[in-house]
Amino acid sequence: MKNKDLQDELRLAIKQELSKVSQANSPLIWAAIHNSKGKLNIKGYLRIEGLIIKKIIAGQLTPSAAIPQLEQELDFR
């Protein structure tokens, strides 16, 4: 599989998991990827996506495991 294909597959998996994020289950991540009106904030989304990719690489995690871990880390900042 080509590197580009792997990147696209990973980004799609992250997108699918981030679509499950709500104010109730991950309020800090939700606030980072949405504006005050609840619309997607592209700059925030790309920032969170990058942080998730780093977590996946560093900890050999799946996107679904990286999101709650990132939420917990953001809570300590």
38 Rama sector, left if φ>0, alpha if ψ -120 to 50, beta otherwise: left
The answer to whether residue 1 scores a pLDDT higher than 90 is: no
- What's the token pair of residue 29? 């991540």
The answer to whether residue 77 scores a pLDDT higher than 80 is: no
**For residue 2, what pLDDT is reported?**
86
In terms of pTM, does the model score above 0.75? yes
Residue-range domain boundaries for the chain: 22-75
Mean pLDDT, residues 14-26: 97
| Phi, then psi, of 2 in degrees rounded to 5 | -75, 155
Summarize pLDDT for 62-76 with one digit per residue, the tens.
999 999 999 999 988
Rounded to whole angstroms, the Cα distance separating 30 from 26 reads: 6
| Contact in structure between 65 and 57 (CB atoms under 8 Å) | no
Rounded to whole angstroms, the Cα distance separating 56 from 23 reads: 23
**For residue 75, what pLDDT is reported?**
87
